[in-house]
Amino acid sequence: MPRELEELASQAFEELDKISDPKELETWQIRYLGKKSPLMQLLHSLATLPLEERRITGGRANEIKKALETGLGKRREALKEAQIAVSLQRESLDISLPGQPIPLGRLHPITQILKEICDIFVGMGFQVVEGPEVEWDYYNFEALNIPKDHPARDMMATLWIDFELETGDREMLLRTHTSPMQIRVMEKLRPPIRVIVPGRVYRHEATDATHESMFHQVEGLAVDRNITLADLKGTLFEFARCLFGSERQARFRCDYFPFVEPGVEMAIDCIVCKGAGCRLCGGSGWIEILGAGMVHPDVLRRVNIDPEVYTGFAFGMGVERIPMLRYGIDDIRLFYSNDLRFLKQF
Amino acid sequence: MKVSLRWLRDYVDITLPIKELAERLTMAGIEVKEMQITGGTWENIVIGEIVAVEAHPNADRLKLVTVHLGQKQLTVVSGAPNLRTGDKVPFAYVGAQLIDGHTGEIIQLKPAKIRGALSEGVVCSEKELGISDSHEGIMVLSPEAPAGTPLADYLGDVIFNLDVTPNRPDCLSVIGVAREIAALTEQTVRLPQVSYEESTEVIDSLASVKIVEPVLCPRYCASMIIGVSVAPSPRWLQQRLLACGMRPINNIVDVTNYVMLEYGQPLHAFDYHRIAGRQIIVRLAKGGEVITTLDGMERAMTSDMLVIADAEHPVAIAGIMGGLDTEISEETTAVLIESANFNRSAIRQTSANLGLRTEASLRFEKGLSSELPLPALKRATRLILEIAGGKAAKGILDVYPGRQERQPLLFSTVQISRLLGVEVGTDEAIRTLTFLSFECQKTGSSEQISVTAPYWRTDISNCADLVEEVARIIGYDKIPATMLSTPIPVPELKPEFTLREKLRSIMVSCGFQEVLTYSLTSLDMLRRVSPDSQLTTPLKVANPITKEQEYLRTTLRAKLLATLNQNQRYETGGIRLFEIGKVFLPQEKDLPEEREKLCAVLSGPRSELSWRDQEGLIDFFNTKGVMENLLSWLGEEIKFDVSEDRGLHPGKRADIIVDGIKVGVMGELHPKVSEAFELSGTTYLIELDLKELLPLATRLKKYSPLPRFPGVIRDIAIVVAESASYQQVKNIIQSFPPVAKVNLFDLYRGEQVPRGKKSLALRIVYQAPTHTLTDEEIIKVQEQILDTLYRELGATLRS
């Protein structure tokens, strides 16, 4: 019996090694490990054998069964591997074929930059607020120290609304800057105030590559005790580094806006020539980014904030200029002509 | 404002290199926009003195000119008609760069033999040097010009083109800029001589001045010179005017312009003999009065315009332009020089109303000092006497009803640190302000000083102004950069921003490109959107730039559809555009309501042309899917109701109702609108009103627990009349509580179903919160559902 057993085992292993088809593997399994297989029948009949023989034959038969099962498992694994390898090879794609087009939407570049700007200031504790684009002369000019016939009105050619009130003195216009919101915010809130105001502004201006009759500004205002020009500088320089990169240099120079005193213009070193002077910066090495200053005491008084107690700073920047600088866009009109070939680049 | 550096040097020593000076001025608020250098190319050109002019041996029209050049003498050939021994002339050595007098090209001077005579240089015309277009003769320099000196040293100049802010009219003058430079470089200013010899004839016996409107004319000064000879100005004067961009006219007018550039005070010269009644009356114009101004234009005056009149009629528009009648001409022998101060608003208004802006009006409207007329007048009188001769009348007519004492400001250095965040000592502040000609006096307190601004600084009115003065002179770069250390205010919630952001991100994820269009449009564009309906009158711009930008938009549709049309020219795939922006709805006696809307348009193929699935064109249900995406996050049921929107196709339009509120509209664009915007293909449109949406969007959402027991899926197909809407079917099915979800997955019409009916295949998910539903339970509910569908809609189960 043991000899037949050994022969059966070696025959089984020999056949197993030759099997390359999973179906044959099943046949093999039935033949050698199935219920009716000699081995299994032997194991079943063990009970009828004398004790000693049962021990020897039984032990060996169980060993062989285990070995066959292990062999079967390995073979099965090997065949599966081979099969996967074959199908992987068969199933390879031309990966250069174009992908399924899925329509992709994008935000307008100005929306993107506005968010970027606002996020920087929000991180510095400013709150975003918005205001009307159609304004009273009072908010746009008068309350900002720009009475009628003030020459500073020349700096902002105005689009007036055809509107008459019986009194005749409240004139309606399209705001020429976001600064009227300084007044509206201070009328409503008491210090501490820290707001930024993004929005559209309008000018009576013939359009060309650098001028638009509609564009965006972001206004900033902070009012509290002990706010200084140094704070303004710190805030804006930090902003410039966040927006234009930490290697950017920024500078303040004296400038004039009727509603601030002292007044400031901030510039960054030219992103093209790094300050050496080129066409973009008009040879100066600097690019003007925004106007700013300390809120004028008369403006504070007008909204019943005591300039002897409180100080504040304000700034306002044109928004379109920033992506123009960043992406080298040479015509501001591209933003509102909404050509998808342009918009899809951002 | 153009300022010549050579001219500036008359009043202040320039101690800085030019570039650095420009930089300092810019930093201090007087921006140097541009620097023009004349004489920068004058290498190898020096001043020569003609010592001999001899005939050329071989040519009648040429001369041999011997020129003394300091160390040596050279002889050159010249054909110039104005060669005179003793004249100082520009001399170019071989190698110099010149402009060819005939062709205008830049040439390099080479040694030449002209008709057998060697010429080692040339004597130059103004044109050859690029100074002017004159090439008729050589340029003759002033007799004091030192022979041998490089011409650039003697005549070269730098012109600063300055951007002077409106608060600094004092810097619209050479002296003003010189004062700035002096303060920045700690120099002192040398003012020009203003005294002159007077005749015995007293001015009061020759003319009189009367100010009728003292508010509009706070001061009027006049001097008189009798016996002037009107002629062209000397070269130096002409050159200075030209360098500053002004055209020389005659010696009298040129002096008035020169002094305006020098002092910033506009002046005007009248031909004395043409002033009727020898009277100057400063008054408002009378209705119907007309004046012909110096530019030859006849201008009708209105009664709010200030004029300078003689006994009969206006002779000048005050502060803006003189009249032709009293103009200085070659016959003029006596002049009356006006130097006055006018109200800035009045000048600005008149100038704007007349559309006439002059060098004078530009200065007056910024607010000049009423102290300025007198020194400027004296200076002009002296210069006219020097240049045009004549005798000055004794005294000056000076009517000064608006005299105001300058008030000192009490200024404390604490204010500097309070505003600037940097400490500046009292002594340093005094020193800085003193260099700016402010009078500073110490007071009892060590920090407080009494400061009086110089008369020309009309922009100084409070301590913040003084702080800026100190800051800009010590330099803004000296101010440190610190971060805000004050408490951060408690932020207010802005749900409208959140809503907008949310909608934007959904639109983008649905494949829509955001656009931003102009708020201003034309009435025609607004009408095209809704052809048959009455348009509420939009707000109109009183002074539009173009007809295309005359009205404030009351809808986003117009520009969005126009944008779609523009892009259809280039885009071959489908186009999906959206804008979130304000529309402007007029309100009685108030600012318009600015209502935020979302508008989207879509048209063309669903996807780009591809080797994959060839999907069809965008249709109503694609559009509806977008709308559902936009609103599903609200967690409220969205109803699509019959709409009356006239811009949309009557059979393919829907109002969007959420919780009983109409929040928007969608549908296929009305073919008429499509045609009006010249759109190709069918366009679909979505519009949402963010104001209506806001209360729904801000509702606090409530979490519903995840189902603990699995849902059971059953598919059914029913046949129902065409007249029954899917919504009706769905409502019935959903009215049975274990129904968790209904999905339509097929809609069939055709042979398999009777005419006038349709087959709907529906997947229903049944789910109970308490247990897994049994087959029996589901069968029972489904029977009830089918019963109800049959009863209410005549629907039958499709076999």
Question: Whose structure tokens read 């690019």?
Answer: A287
Taking contacts as CB-CB distances below 8 angstroms, the residues of chain A near B472 are 254, 262
* Nearest neighbour of B28 by CB, restricted to A111, A194, A254: A254
Q: Band the pLDDT of B533: cuts 50, 70, 90.
A: low
pLDDT over 70 (residue B583): yes
CATH topology for the B198-399 domain: Phenylalanyl-tRNA Synthetase; Chain B, domain 3 (3.50.40)
φ, ψ dihedrals at B48, nearest 5°? -120, 155
Could you tell me what percent of chain B has a pLDDT over 70? 99
pLDDT over 70 (residue A167): no
Got the DSSP string for B195-228? ---EEEEEGGGT-EEEES-TTT-SEEEEEEEES-
To the question of domain B495-697 being in CATH 3.40.50.920, the answer is: no
Q: A327 touching B, CB under 8 A? A: no
**Domain spans of chain B, in order of start:** 2-39+158-185, 45-155, 198-399, 409-478, 495-697, 712-797
CA dist A170 and A164 (Å) reads 8
Contact A57/A3 with Cβ under 8 angstroms?
A: no
Number of alpha carbons in the 13 Å side-chain half-sphere of residue B89: 30
pLDDT over 70 (residue B103): yes
The two tokens of residue B717 are 């197909």
SS (H, E, C) chain A: CHHHHHHHHHHHHHHHHHCCCHHHHHHHHHHHHCCCCHHHHHHHHHHHCCHHHHHHHHHHHHHHHHHHHHHHHHHHHHHHHHHHHHHHHHCCCCCCCCCCCCCCCCCCHHHHHHHHHHHHHHCCCCEECCCCCEEEHHHHCHHHCCCCCCHHHHHCCCCEECCCCCCCCCCEEECCCCCHHHHHHHHHCCCCEEEEEEEEEECCCCCECCECCEEEEEEEEEEECCCCHHHHHHHHHHHHHHHHCCCCCEEEEECCCCCEEEEEEEEEECCCCCCCCCCCCCCCCEEEEEEEEEECHHHHHHCCCCCCCCEEEEEEEECCHHHHHHHCCCCCCHHHHCCHHHHCCC
By mean pLDDT, which of A21-25, A224-228, B192-196, B550-554 is the weakest?
A: A21-25
Beta strands in B179-313 (DSSP E): 198-202, 208-211, 219-226, 267-271, 279-284, 290-292, 298-300, 306-309
Average pLDDT over residues B170-181: 97
Got the DSSP string for B134-150? --SS---B-TTSPTTSB
- CA triple B775-B781-B785, angle to 5 deg: 140
Taking contacts as CB-CB distances below 8 angstroms, the residues of chain B near A343 are 513-515
The two tokens of residue A96 are 């250069």
**Cβ neighbourhood burial of A30 (10 Å; 0-12, 13-18, 19+):** exposed
CATH of domain B45-155: 2.40.50.140
Inter-chain CB proximity B594 and A296 less than 8 Å: no
Please give, rounded to a whole number of angstroms, the shortest distance from the CA of A115 to a CA of chain B.
10
φ, ψ dihedrals at B26, nearest 5°? -60, -45
pLDDT in tens, B436-473: 999 999 888 888 899 999 999 999 999 999 999 999 99
Contact A143/A183 with Cβ under 8 angstroms?
A: yes
To the question of domain B712-797 being in CATH 3.30.530.20, the answer is: no
Q: Band the pLDDT of A278: cuts 50, 70, 90.
A: confident
pLDDT over 70 (residue A166): no
Please give, rounded to a whole number of angstroms, the shortest distance from the CA of A178 to a CA of chain B.
16
How many Cβ pairs closer than 8 A exist between chain A and B?
Answer: 262
Contacts of A90 (CB under 8 A, 6+ apart): none
First to last CA, chain A: 84
Q: Running DSSP on this structure, what letter comes out for residue B16?
A: S
Inter-chain CB proximity A108 and B165 less than 8 Å: no
pLDDT in tens, B691-722: 999 999 888 888 888 889 999 999 999 999 99
Q: What is the pLDDT of residue A169?
A: 59
Taking contacts as CB-CB distances below 8 angstroms, the residues of chain B near A128 are 494, 497
The chain-wide mean pLDDT, for chain B, equals 92
Q: Running DSSP on this structure, what letter comes out for residue B476?
A: G
CA dist A27 and A31 (Å) reads 6
State ipTM.
0.86
To the question of domain B2-39+158-185 being in CATH 3.20.20.80, the answer is: no
- The more confidently predicted of residues B649 and A61 is B649
Please give, rounded to a whole number of angstroms, the shortest distance from the CA of B582 to a CA of chain A.
9
CATH of domain B409-478: 3.30.56.10
Q: What is the pLDDT of residue B532?
A: 66
pLDDT in tens, B745-772: 999 998 888 889 999 999 999 999 899 9
Interface of A with B in 167-196 (CB under 8 A): 172, 174, 189, 192-194
Inter-chain CB proximity B591 and A135 less than 8 Å: yes
Interface of A with B in 227-246 (CB under 8 A): 227-231, 233-235, 237-238
CA dist B548 and B525 (Å) reads 8
β-pairing, A127-128 with A193-202? parallel
pLDDT over 80 (residue B358): yes
Q: What is the pLDDT of residue A149?
A: 84
pLDDT over 90 (residue B621): yes
Q: Do domains B45-155 and B495-697 have the same CATH topology?
A: no
Question: Whose structure tokens read 């304004």?
Answer: A135
pLDDT in tens, B670-694: 999 999 999 999 999 999 999 999 9
Q: What is the pLDDT of residue A62?
A: 87
Q: A264 touching B, CB under 8 A? A: yes
Q: Which helix (H) or strand (E) holds B387?
A: helix B373-388
Q: Band the pLDDT of A45: cuts 50, 70, 90.
A: confident
